[in-house]
Amino acid sequence: MIKKKLNSDCEEEIENQRFNKVHISKVPIMLMSDVCRLHGKSEKELTELRECPFDEGGYFIVNGIDRVLIGQERMSTNHVYVFQMRQPNKYAYVAEFRSRVKYPNRQPGPLFVRMLSKTRAKMGILATLSSIREEIPIVIVFRALGVISDKQIIEYICYDFLDTEMTVLLQPSLEEACYIRNQELALEYIGKLGAPASVTEKEESSMYAEDILKMEMLPHVDDSEPFVNDKKAHNFGYIIHRLLLCALNRRDADYRDNFGNKRLDLAGPLLGSLFRMLFSKFTGGVQPLVKKFVDKEKDFKLDAIIAKKEKIITSGLNYSLATGNWSKSNAGDTRTGVSGVKLYNKCLHLVTLEKNKFSYRV
C-alpha cells in the first residue's frame, strides 16, 4: 500500500508498506509431487484417502480429468547451427543460435543470421535479433556494439586478412551499411525498426536499441562491464564465420533432424515457459492500473489491484493443461498437443458407464 501524507512541516511524505507475500494465482499441482498432499503417504494412508496405492502420479487433474504433459523436442541451446536452404529460396544459408543463460527462468534469446541467395542482386548477410522482427544488416549490428571500422569487422569474422574468399563474401554487407559510420547512427537505425510506436524521440529509440543489445542479444555472454559489447561482438562474429565456412564448402551444413542436436522439455520447463508468458501478461495488466493512480496522485492498495487480474495466470494454466495448446510467448507462438488424457485411464474403462453415476475428482 502506498500513501501520501503531510508532516509537521507541511512537507509531503510517501509512506510505503511492503507486502512479502501477495496472492497472484493458483497453480495446478502434479500428483505425487513434493507439494502434493499425497506425497510420502503409505499404502494404508492412500487407501484410506480412496486413492490407488499403485498410482505413480506424475499427472495433473483439471476439471476432473487426468491430464499428462507430453515431452516436447527442441534444438539444444548455446550451439551454432548452419542450415542450407532448398532452392529456389530467398536465402542460401541460415545460421541459428539460441542463447540460454544459466538461470532457468529466462527465455532463450534466438538469433538468426541469413545469407541471401545468388539470385539476389547482392549476397548480403542479414541478422534477426530477439524482439525485432525486421532484418538488420550485420555490419550495422557490429557498429551498434562499438565495432566501427571495416577492418575491425573483418577481423571479428574472418580471423585472417589473407582469406580473400571470405572477405569477398563480406563485401556486399560492408557496402550495404556504408551510410552508417558510427555507433549513434547504428543504434538509432535499430531503435527505429524495433521500438514501439509510442517511442518517437531519437534518444528514446537509441536507448531501446541499447537495451535490446544488452538484455536480449546473446544473454549467455558474461555481462560484466566494460567488455560486454566486445564479447558479444566476438560471439556474433563467430556465428557469421561458421555461416561463411558452409557457404565456401569448407564445412558441412548441420542436419536439423540429427538426434544429437535435440533436447527434451518435460513438465518443469514446459510449465516454466508458460508461467513466464502468463506472468508477463499479468504484469502488463497491473501496470496501467497502478500508473493511473500514480498519475492522479491517489492512494491505492496494490493487493486490491492484483486481485482484479489474478485470474490471468490461473485461467491460462488451466486452459493450456485442459486443451494442450501451449503458448510460448506473447507473439502468438503456440504449440498444440502438449497435454493429453492419461493413457491408462482410457484402458481401465472396458465398459461404457453412465456419467451421472460417478462424481468428478477434484
- CATH value at residue 93: 3.90.1110.10
Report yes or no on 22 lying in a domain.
no
Q: Are residues 254 and 289 in the same domain?
A: no
Q: Are residues 65 and 81 in the same domain?
A: no
Average pLDDT on 102-126 reads 78
Report yes or no on 6 lying in a domain.
no
Cα–Cα dist 183/177, whole Å: 12
Report yes or no on 18 lying in a domain.
no
Residue closest to 176 by CA, chosen among 142, 139, 128, 121: 139
Least confident of 29-33, 65-69, 225-229: 225-229
Please state the φ and ψ torsions of residue 270, each to the nearest 5 degrees.
Answer: -65, -45
- The domain boundary residue, chosen from 206, 232, 260: 260
C-alpha cell at 316: 491460462
Report yes or no on 217 lying in a domain.
yes
Radius of gyration of the chain (CA): 27
Report yes or no on 119 lying in a domain.
yes
Helix (H, G, I), strand (E, B) or coil at 136: strand
Least confident of 25-34, 135-144, 166-175, 196-205: 196-205
Helix (H, G, I), strand (E, B) or coil at 4: strand
- The domain boundary residue, chosen from 240, 260, 280: 260
Average pLDDT on 5-28 reads 70
In the predicted model, is pLDDT for residue 266 greater than 50? Answer: yes
pLDDT averaged over every residue in the chain: 83
- The domain boundary residue, chosen from 260, 280, 301: 260
Q: Which domain holds residue 124?
A: 75-260
- Cβ count within 10 A of residue 41: 16
Q: Are residues 116 and 190 in the same domain?
A: yes
Please state the φ and ψ torsions of residue 100, each to the nearest 5 degrees.
Answer: -125, 130
Q: Residue 362: which pLDDT band, with cuts at 50, 70 and 90?
A: very low
Q: Are residues 61 and 110 in the same domain?
A: no
Q: Are residues 338 and 223 in the same domain?
A: no
Q: Residue 2: which pLDDT band, with cuts at 50, 70 and 90?
A: low
In the predicted model, is pLDDT for residue 211 greater than 90? Answer: no
Q: Residue 145: which pLDDT band, with cuts at 50, 70 and 90?
A: very high
Q: Are residues 187 and 175 in the same domain?
A: yes
Q: Are residues 50 and 160 in the same domain?
A: no
Contacts of 171 (CB under 8 A, 6+ apart): none
Report yes or no on 28 lying in a domain.
no
> Cell 502434479 belongs to which residue?
30
Q: Are residues 200 and 243 in the same domain?
A: yes
**Tens-digit pLDDT profile for residues 281-316:** 898 888 888 888 878 777 777 778 888 888 999 999
How many CA within 13 A on the CB side of residue 123? Answer: 16
Q: Are residues 209 and 295 in the same domain?
A: no
**AA identity, residue 239:** I
Angle of the 228-247 helix axis to the 164-176 helix axis, nearest 10: 120
Q: Are residues 87 and 125 in the same domain?
A: yes
Is residue 91 within 8 Å of 247, Cβ to Cβ?
A: no
Q: Are residues 206 and 315 in the same domain?
A: no
Task: State the total domains in the chain.
Answer: 2
Report yes or no on 11 lying in a domain.
no
Q: Are residues 215 and 81 in the same domain?
A: yes
How many Å separate Cα 108 from the centre of its chain? 5
Residue closest to 238 by CA, chosen among 155, 124, 180: 155
Report yes or no on 288 lying in a domain.
yes
Contacts of 44 (CB under 8 A, 6+ apart): none
Contacts of 42 (CB under 8 A, 6+ apart): none
Cα–Cα dist 17/315, whole Å: 29
